[in-house]
Amino acid sequence: MTGGALQGKISVVTGGARGIGAAIAARLSADGATVIIADIDAQAATSQAVLLKNGSAMQIDIGSDASVVKFADFLKNEFGRCNILVNNAAILDMTGINELTMARYRHVLNINQDGAVRLTTALLPLLLADGPGARIVNISSIMGLRGQPNSVPYSMAKGAIANFTRSLAADLGHQGINVNAIAPGFIDTEMAQLPDGSGHEHETKEFLDIYLKYGRILLRRVGQPEDIAGPVSFLCSKDADYITGQVILVDGGVSATF
- In whole angstroms, what is the distance from residue 245 CA to residue 170 CA? 7
Closest CA to 218 of 247, 192, 185, 248: 185
Q: Is 223 helix (H, G, I), strand (E, B) or coil?
A: strand
Contact present, 17 and 39 (Cβ < 8 Å): yes
Q: Compute how many other C-beta atoms are within 10 angstroms of the C-beta atom of residue 106.
A: 12
Q: Is 154 labeled as catalytic in the residue annotation? A: yes
Q: What dihedral angle (degrees, nearest 10) is formed by the CA atoms of 48, 200, 88, 158?
A: -170
Residue among 105, 154, 211, 242 flagged as catalytic? 154
**Angle at alpha carbon of residue 73, lines to 67 and 77, rounded to 5°:** 150
Return all residues near 63 (Cβ < 8 A) that are at least 6 apart: 107, 110, 111, 114, 115, 118
Q: Which amino acid is at 103?
A: A
- In whole angstroms, what is the distance from residue 130 CA to residue 34 CA? 15
Q: Would you name the residues annotated as active-site residues?
A: 154
